[in-house]
Structure 1
């Protein structure tokens, strides 16, 4: 089995809704106007409401409230609009999974924490595209969902290797399948026609040194995923103060990124409220973080 074969096998399960596909096509057409995009979005009231809530959230920190979809498009631009719509549709795509397969609320809490962390880190590490990396952060673990839903029996062996032999999850996946969730997630993003600047960091975020292209973006995503782990545990424990071990790990990551250690150590607390706000918008009705 290969990542490509597994993604092709799940093609009908992992198909974007029509609204996302229509927006994608329109955004790629040079003659498209904001009003054209607004017409598509307002046909989906749920998507319209969540888009406006996201644009008015702390993620964008707008000085004045944004009241209409057209206004939102004008303020954030076409590419950011595409990424927000993809984020919303991707969350919806997997919301039917049972808790026995995977705890989706915890999964998306981690993804949203990674997305917001990577957006902040991109600003600290030079002129990198924080909006595009936001999407890479949100979707960096999608390969796990394919494993959980399509390979449940074989994945039980991965869990056994993790619990009984102490292997890291990705090492256990490599042993059982010959590839890991990062490889699988990157293949899915390729299948969805995402640019290399998104799928390549996802493919290499577990080991950025192996990235032939987009190495610094993979390093940023690697650090953001670690911060997301810290934030996820902290939110569930109602505390955002990193432990001593986490501070040591963050100092090492800061050195790799050329950042001041305090900037990375303080980041989990600085972005905590943004994470909770975006989580409540993208995963409405959750009781996980109250």
Structure 2
């Protein structure tokens, strides 16, 4: 699932969207923030405003915020587009100015919209679809510093793209979350395939049922994290701190466990690198 608010090249309205990916883009502010840290003028006026280079998470539905504030530093035309897969989670997306005036929106009837935005603060309002999970859905945010590379990856023309900005909300497949502070984050069933989570702090995070195949967790802090049923096939866990983590039923096929300390880790029912299923009771080192 991927939704993107991005600048539009001249004479182009139709957008080619990609999942939340930062690639080699370096953040200019702290990377990694959760719903409780997001700015809201009424509920949380001292919170963070999404800016260029930021990566974070917003919960759509449940008790999470239904809007995200962001800063535009350069005047440009920004567009919003919803795809079929987006509508399973999102019923409507609006972009409004700081005064609350709606400038652009997209829904099932109007999939694509655009608006000219001057430098300043804006808000993206997110209305969950009737089919969205009642407990909420974790959506990743990324504000690219340079549209050119993202556009090239998505197959769009590179002409007139240098320096363009994009605000992406959706899956985190291949996204850059190096060093992200995501303590206790709710990432159940999140799409983290090939995501870069090196040195990320995921202490106590809930990744149950997530798809993290091929993800890079080197030196990540995963103590007390819930990784039950998580797809970790071919993931890199070298140097990750997993004490007290729950990997019951996780798929560890293709994972090099030589450099992984599994002390205090629950591996019951996990698929091991050689394809065996760990059915042992403590001590779980009987599985290895």
Higher RCO, Cα 8 Å, sep 6+: 1
For this structure pair, what is the TM-score category when the shorter chain's length is used for normalisation? under 0.3
TM-score (structure 1 length as normaliser): 0.22
- Greater helix share, structure number: 1
- Greater strand share, structure number: 2
